[in-house]
A and B are shown apart, each in its own frame.
Chain A
């Protein structure tokens, strides 16, 4: 399956990646090649095989419901670009 420019542009947007107009052809080609490579798997007959929900055949270990974390806000906020009144500040977003 070959991707078109529009699809690649959409994928880039969903991932919030800035892609130069000039690079589009390269991405279209590379991503299409990857899909074509993976598509070989379709040759295998998987009827009767339950879909794999997770690649690891292990089960989740659980933790006890206990508060183990202490307040480290000051440390975390030292590396934040902007904070005020204990809040992280970001460019205005509103629905």
Chain B
């Protein structure tokens, strides 16, 4: 039987506020345990949560960027469960009336098409603390610094049909929250993580199969692997005549498998109810419109503009807009090069990205600045150096030997374009290789490459290739 996977993602993005969602404690990562957990975060008696305006603004930004409705009225609810990293015994979240709902995002498919993925909702909630299970003589250590950090939980429709689509969607959301500057997207520090709901059904069937939920996956690679593993597991069970149990599973990246979480004695029963400590959140139209005017150019719009302004392919434009930093670097390069869009794209995606990958560097850490790269491209464009010599120049800039003009000057890499100078060298080459000249003139025209090579060798690659080809052809005629 042919099976079809049905996947929905719940992405948790920590909002990049300075203070927590309901208290004035700092959200900075990496502080000493519990030094950023105040009375509100600890859930001490008599405290009152007060909502952070910036968290609201960030949620609204996300809503507007995903064509969603930004609710003029939303309500905070208590989600009740007991766990030591949740001191109040409930998490403040939103349930029936979330701040953002009914939006979408278009993802690119490998075949070049696009697919629209629905965003059911995105709601504000507080993060929990962290439990440390090691090294405390059989006890668990609790660090509540993270408790109360604002989260935007972004829930997709079950529109995804493969692990690849899920990853494409997650990457797109990741890029978007960073463009919007509402989340730093740091997956290692847990600022951006995801749960996946997965089921399979016979292809063509309308009704969904029974789903399992995989919790807390914190890398794109693991999302892909975990989903693929889970799809296989479910198909194997169904094909063997078994049934899928609705349950929460954990992905073990070491073993590349999912396994059931030690099941809580009771099925989830969160008994949500409106939080009496918090009044309904009411947003005025004027506020929403004001937020709209502050939105930056978003990835899709930027991609389309790169295609029309610089004549780039959709693929190239997508790569160059995948992160805001990449797009900024590219545009600065184009500017410094005097408007060389395609050439800049080739170098940013080729040599530069290659070396960055090799050295494990992010584009913001690039040893070659966009001004330096653009300056070098200018020298390719005006014929000072050839594309081939440029690679040498680029490596020298990378190694800190100065900008393009300095390197070209210091290393004597300036291209030889003077026809008289080139002609002189060609004549020397022809004189030194009379046998090949004879063979060429007898009809072995493929020897042209040999002569080009000899001329390049004699000039250390500095002769202008166009000029060499033109003159060689002429002089070889005899």
Q: Which A residues are closer than 8 A to B by beta carbons?
A: 10, 13-14, 16, 53-56, 58-69, 71-73, 76-77, 82, 84-95
In the complex, how many angstroms separate the beta carbon of B421 from the nearest chain A beta carbon? 66
B9-63 contacts to A (CB < 8 Å): 17-19, 23-26, 32-39, 42, 44, 50-56
Cβ of B24 and Cβ of A73 under 8 Å apart?
no
Cβ of B53 and Cβ of A93 under 8 Å apart?
no
Cβ of B51 and Cβ of A87 under 8 Å apart?
no
Between A16, A64, A67, the greatest number of chain B beta carbons within 10 A of the residue's beta carbon is seen for: A67
Q: Say yes or no: A76-B141 contact (C-beta < 8 A), given A65-B19, A87-B136.
A: no
Q: Which single member of A60, A90, A94 contacts B281 (CB below 8 Å)?
A: A60
Of the stretches B265-273, B313-321, B364-372, the one at the interface is: B265-273
Residues of A contacting B82 with CB < 8 Å?
A: 16
- Some 9 contacts from A to B, beta carbons below 8 A apart, are A53-B280, A54-B279, A55-B274, A58-B279, A60-B280, A68-B24, A69-B23, A86-B143, A89-B136
Complex: chain B residue closest to A16, CB-CB: B82
Cβ of A84 and Cβ of B53 under 8 Å apart?
no
Determine the interface band of chain B, counting residues with CB < 8 A from chain A.
35 or more
In the bound assembly, the distance between CA atoms of A44 and B54 in angstroms comes to: 41
In the bound assembly, the distance between CA atoms of A36 and B278 in angstroms comes to: 29
Q: Which single member of A16, A54, A65, A87 contacts B75 (CB below 8 Å)?
A: A54
Residues of A contacting B262 with CB < 8 Å?
A: 94-95
Q: Which B residues are closer than 8 A to A by beta carbons?
A: 17-19, 23-26, 32-39, 42, 44, 50-56, 73, 75, 80, 82-84, 96-97, 131-133, 136, 138-144, 250, 261-262, 265-266, 269, 271, 274, 276, 278-282
The B contact surface, by secondary structure, is loop
Cβ of B53 and Cβ of A88 under 8 Å apart?
no
Cβ of A14 and Cβ of B34 under 8 Å apart?
no
Between B131, B132, B276, the greatest number of chain A beta carbons within 10 A of the residue's beta carbon is seen for: B131
Which 6 A-B pairs give the minimum distances between C-beta atoms?
A68-B24, A87-B141, A65-B54, A62-B53, A86-B33, A59-B282
Cβ of B50 and Cβ of A61 under 8 Å apart?
yes
Residues of A contacting B44 with CB < 8 Å?
A: 76
Residues of A contacting B33 with CB < 8 Å?
A: 85-87
Cβ of B53 and Cβ of A65 under 8 Å apart?
yes
Cβ of A87 and Cβ of B34 under 8 Å apart?
yes
Q: Say yes or no: A60-B51 contact (C-beta < 8 A), given A53-B96, A93-B83.
A: yes
Cβ of A68 and Cβ of B143 under 8 Å apart?
no
Q: Say yes or no: A90-B34 contact (C-beta < 8 A), given A16-B82, A53-B280.
A: no
Between A14, A58, A95, the greatest number of chain B beta carbons within 10 A of the residue's beta carbon is seen for: A95
Q: Which single member of B18, B24, B35, B279 contacts A59 (CB below 8 Å)?
A: B279
Residues of B contacting A85 with CB < 8 Å?
A: 33, 141
Complex: chain B residue closest to A13, CB-CB: B266
Besides A62-B56, A63-B24, A87-B141, 15 new A-B residue pairs in contact (Cβ under 8 A), listed by A number: A55-B274, A60-B279, A61-B50, A62-B50, A63-B53, A66-B24, A67-B18, A68-B19, A73-B35, A82-B139, A86-B34, A88-B142, A89-B136, A90-B84, A93-B84
Residues of A contacting B56 with CB < 8 Å?
A: 62
Cβ of A93 and Cβ of B80 under 8 Å apart?
no
Q: Say yes or no: A89-B140 contact (C-beta < 8 A), given A14-B271, A59-B281, A65-B17.
A: yes
Residues of A contacting B96 with CB < 8 Å?
A: 53
Q: Which single member of A10, A13, A71, A87 contacts B36 (CB below 8 Å)?
A: A71
Residues of B contacting A90 with CB < 8 Å?
A: 84, 139-140, 142
In the complex, how many angstroms separate the beta carbon of B288 from the nearest chain A beta carbon? 14
